[in-house]
Amino acid sequence: MDYINEQLQENDRAKISAGLVVKAMILNGLGFINSPLYLFSRFFEDKPLEHLLGKGIKASDLNDDRLGRVLDLIFMAGISRLFVGIWLFPQLCGKCIIVISQ
């Protein structure tokens, strides 16, 4: 999440960070939910959000406006550059989590 927050350079006024929103999108995707953005927060209404995303986070914080702003930031940052950086970041920090063997 820290890497995403650094790369997207969002202002600090948002209640939840862009990295946290991306984490929520991944969790939502793992639930195999295919619904419009305006229904995104409903997915989290019956989930243990404090355990999954952190203290003080409510389902209503994950609304379609917030998701849209983060998706815009991702687009402006360059999706391919961001994904390559996410893959490289742990390896550059000496915390290799991906093992590639032949």
Phi/psi of residue 33, nearest 5 degrees: -95, 125
Please indicate, yes or no, if residue 48 is contained in any of the structural domains: yes
Tell me whether residue 66 is in a domain: yes
Mean pLDDT score, 32-39? 76
Domain that holds residue 28: 2-92
Dump pLDDT digits (tens) for 42-87. 888 999 999 999 899 999 999 999 999 999 999 999 999 888 888 8
Specify the pLDDT at position 35.
76
20 burial class (0-12, 13-18, 19+ CB within 10 angstroms)? buried
Best CA proximity match to 31, nearest among 18, 54, 47: 47
Query: Would residue 102 count as lying in a domain?
Result: no
Split into its structural domains, the chain has a count of: 1
* Residue 39 counted as domain residue: yes
| 84 inside domain | yes
Residue 15 lies in a domain: yes
Give pLDDT, residue 70: 93
Q: Which residue has the tokens 């063997």?
A: 101
Name the percent of the chain lying above pLDDT 90.
Answer: 29
